[in-house]
Amino acid sequence: MLAPRSDFPIFSRRVNGHRLVYLDSGATSQRPRAVMDAMVRFDSETNGAVKRGAHTLAAESTLAFEDARATVAAFVGADPGEIVWTSGSTAALNLLAYACSNASLGRGEALADSDHAGAYDPALTEKFRLAPGDSIVTTRAEHHANLVPWQELAARTGATLRWLDLDPEGRIDPATLDRIDSTTKIVAFTHVSNVTGAVSPVAQIVAAAKAVGAITVLDACQSVPHMPVNVHALDVDFAVFSGHKMLGPTGIGGLYGRRELLNALPPFLTGGSMIKLVTMERTTFAAPPARFEAGTQPVVQAIGLAEAVSYLEKLGMENVATSERALTARTLAGMAEIPGVRVLGPADGANRTGIIAFTVDGVHPHDVGQVLDAAGVAIRTGHHCAQPIHAHFGVTASNRVSFGPYNDVDDVAAFLDALAGVRAYFGVEK
């Protein structure tokens, strides 16, 4: 075990009379007491309106808010000005897709008069404009949050949506990279599949996109909490991540964007705090990231996320990745010994993370989940907001195990023991 269970208050409880075995971190992770304490401390001692006052509490709140941004930015290898706070990765992806819509409608011209206008490059705004004849490329491995916004953007602009396909193991097939061509304006893809745990060939996809001048968007929700991630080193243009998947609170996430591209991107939401000057006739906008942070921000959530990042940094992300790889290998080996269990995705631990989707012959995934829950083992059941990749495997739903830094070999043993009894429980022959 890498992170002591005693650091996480929820592990003091029992579920259905059993020690809690939490194997659903891919959906939402548990939070250490340090994160909860940081949020309570802020609310108890500091809480004030961020960027909306000169009094002591407002000034302290603003400083804490921006310090949190700097902490999170450093964790993912970005500059503070390249991180936009959102309510999560879904909001971040929609922000980006709708901002592209606004660029396509010609709203980029308004940026010429915005704050930081000296850094504005109209040629970069042109990169966000889509029209009939252009294409957006995503992959069959995507979470719906990184597919549906691009489907809708294509529908709004007349662009064509294409996708990279998968090999039999569910990995992105490099042979389909030729679908990124001279018409492609945006390439949006997952870093790690939330179904198979397979790590995408980021360098190959980025190289193909750059060759045609396309913008790259990386869904890093399932990578940032589980391995070292440096967005500058990955050379992607945008990336998204969610706080509640990385030991932090719900209601907070981030959009990373290259500084020059954020400067050239029109806003999506408008209102307070994202403006430079407002008259009755027109408005000019603030520089990023403020341009994309209209209204009241998730301040205490940002404080909690920064504390979660500090906790992960103390563990060491290489250590987190190593621990989860070992647990994954042990789990896959154990599952291979249980009749009727089919793993969706790579059958070994190579180039994958601690996410394992599987089916049990003759038993519906929800029934599998209930049997495991009776033994105190929490897993995910359903299509995991990723129906196309399930269709690729010829199923409509699956079960999913996903590890966090608080899991250990005892958790694996409890899971395997409960899983081994599922088919017998339902009277399914071996």
Please check whether residues 288 and 412 belong to one and the same domain. Answer: no
Please check whether residues 341 and 243 belong to one and the same domain. Answer: no
Please check whether residues 233 and 154 belong to one and the same domain. Answer: yes
Please check whether residues 287 and 330 belong to one and the same domain. Answer: no
Per-block mean pLDDT, blocks of 10 residues, the chain (430 long): 93 97 98 98 96 91 97 98 98 98 81 65 91 98 98 98 97 97 98 98 98 98 98 98 98 97 94 91 92 95 98 98 97 97 91 97 98 98 98 98 98 98 88
- DSSP for 144-194? GGGTHHHHHHHHHHTPEEEEE-B-TTS-B-GGGGGGS-TTEEEEEEESB-T
Check residue 122 and give its pLDDT: 82
Distance CA(241)–CA(246), nearest Å, equals 9
Boundary (domain end) residue, out of 286, 313, 340: 313
Check residue 123 and give its pLDDT: 87
Please check whether residues 299 and 345 belong to one and the same domain. Answer: no
Within a domain: residue 245?
yes
Q: Are 108 and 279 in contact (CB under 8 A)?
A: no
Q: Are 157 and 130 in contact (CB under 8 A)?
A: yes
The domain total for the chain is 2
Check residue 117 and give its pLDDT: 56
385 is catalytic: yes
Please check whether residues 346 and 239 belong to one and the same domain. Answer: no
Distance CA(291)–CA(307), nearest Å, equals 25
Check residue 148 and give its pLDDT: 98
Please check whether residues 183 and 97 belong to one and the same domain. Answer: yes
Check residue 116 and give its pLDDT: 61
Please check whether residues 279 and 326 belong to one and the same domain. Answer: no
- Considering 119, 385, 397, 413, which one is annotated as catalytic? 385
Of the candidates 332, 331, 399, 347, which has an alpha carbon nearest to the alpha carbon of residue 170?
Answer: 347
Boundary (domain end) residue, out of 271, 287, 313: 313
Which residue range is the domain that position 328 belongs to? 5-25+316-425
Please check whether residues 309 and 320 belong to one and the same domain. Answer: no
Q: What angle do CA 13, 17, 23 make, to 5 degrees?
A: 60
Check residue 350 and give its pLDDT: 85
Please check whether residues 129 and 164 belong to one and the same domain. Answer: yes
Within a domain: residue 388?
yes
Within a domain: residue 140?
yes
Q: Give phi and psi for 386, each to the nearest 5.
A: -150, 65
What CATH number has the domain bearing residue 387? 3.90.1150.10
**In angstroms, how far apart are the furthest CA atoms of the chain?**
74
* Partner residues linked to 162 by β-bridges: 137
Please check whether residues 98 and 58 belong to one and the same domain. Answer: yes
Q: What six digits make up the tokens of 329?
A: 């290998």
Please check whether residues 84 and 220 belong to one and the same domain. Answer: yes
Within a domain: residue 372?
yes
Boundary (domain end) residue, out of 288, 313, 338: 313
Secondary structure letter of residue 240 according to DSSP: E
